[in-house]
Amino acid sequence: MQTDLNNIKNNNKILHELKGQPYDRNDLRPGRIRAEAILIIIILTISLLIYLFMNLGMRSGSTVEVSLGGEIIAVYPLDKDMEYRIESEDGGYNLLVISGGECYLSDADCPDRLCVKQGHISRSGRSIICLPHKLIITIRGDEADGDGVDSVAR
Amino acid sequence: MNNRSVARLGLILALALILSYVESLIPFAFGIPGMKLGLPNLAVVIALYLFGWKWALTVNVLRIILSGFLFGNMFGIIYSLAGALTSFVIMLLVRRIDIFSIRGVSICGAVSHNIAQLLTAAILMETAGILYYAPFLLAAGVVTGLIIGIASEGTLRIVGRLGQ
């Protein structure tokens, strides 16, 4: 009998240790929920403001800048339709396509292929980034180009 | 560290690794680099609330190294560590300030994780262009943080009821 009782006590102790600290029932009190709602609204507002701010200043671009591992390796005009194969340092590749004033990566052998999913870009300042290959495609605008300003104003 | 602690750490670590694997199966990125559901953070938040910060930190560092070797690469480990450690410190601070519940703690963790990872990428790749994704990652952090927070809360309630 004594050993049974000890066993039960011991089991309870193990269970208690595995359970850790009990979750505070008061953790979700109304004041906290209100504070969280405010937090969510503030963060979403900030992200919306940043998004609007970044998009307002955008003009259509004129060149495509290719940077590999932090160094600019090539600049291509955006108005000439072409296809380039970009070899990265680790032997991988990305296929850059320029067509109809837009550019995108049509294929790549990086593991996540997020660069392909980032889609088409055409406006100055936008970029496509392939983290595994350290590749950044950036659209650059011509500062003297009045076209972009017009297209925003319209 | 006694046998029981080893078993406990193994249990939480296994949970974190399974969640990492499940996360790698779910396509949630929408073409935005660094966007993740943050499922493994569920294990970290639970460990933080049940067993304290030392346990949570151990689980956090070990699961990143292990899942990095299992499902990713060295490059990914650097990003993950930068994000996870920043978000861990922020979650500890927010919990200490004591104005949010577990949901708010998780949201702050997710948002700071995304910011830290984005800044790391901007520094490592020497480009500010990647900051274009900041608003998307901020908004995504709110959503994923809330999901993980609610899930952690539900789990903790059930765990608390066991053995009573």
A131 and A75 fall within a common domain: yes
Residues 131-160 of chain B with CB under 8 A from chain A are: 132, 134-136, 138-139, 141-142, 146, 153, 156-157, 159-160
pLDDT in tens, B64-94: 999 888 877 777 888 889 999 999 999 999 9
pLDDT of residue A149: 42
Q: Which domains does chain B have, with CATH numbers?
A: 3-161 (1.10.1760.20)
Considering CB atoms only, which of A21, A27, A127 is closest to B50? Answer: A21
Structural domain includes residue A152: no
Q: Determine the angle formed by the axes of helices B40-51 and B53-71, rounding to 10 degrees.
A: 160
| Structural domain total, chain A | 2
Considering CB atoms only, which of A36, A129, A136 is closest to B104? Answer: A36
A72 and A104 fall within a common domain: yes
Query: pTM for the whole thing?
Result: 0.74
* ipTM value: 0.85
A51 and A69 fall within a common domain: no
pLDDT of residue B143: 94
A22 and A75 fall within a common domain: no
A15 and A75 fall within a common domain: no
Instruction: Give the pLDDT band (50/70/90) at residue B45.
Output: very high
Structural domain includes residue A149: no
pLDDT in tens, A98-122: 988 888 999 898 887 888 888 888 8
pLDDT in tens, B80-133: 899 999 999 999 999 999 899 999 999 999 999 999 999 998 888 777 777 888
Structural domain includes residue A72: yes
| Chain A CB within 8 Å of residue B129 CB | yes
Please indicate whether, in this complex, the C-beta atoms of A118 and B129 are within 8 angstroms of each other.
Answer: no
pLDDT of residue B71: 79
pLDDT of residue B82: 92
Contacts 24+ apart (CB under 8 A), A23-31: A23/B49, A23/B50, A23/B153, A23/B156, A23/B157, A23/B159, A23/B160, A27/B101, A27/B102, A27/B153, A28/B101, A28/B102, A28/B103, A28/B153, A29/B101
Which residues lie closer than 8 Å to B12 by C-beta, 6 or more apart? B43, B46, B47, B51, B55, B59
Structural domain includes residue A70: yes
Structural domain includes residue A147: no
A118 and A90 fall within a common domain: yes
Which residues span the domain enclosing A45? Answer: 2-56
CATH code, A78: 2.60.320.10
| CA distances (Å), origin B37, targets A64, B78, B140 | 32, 18, 9
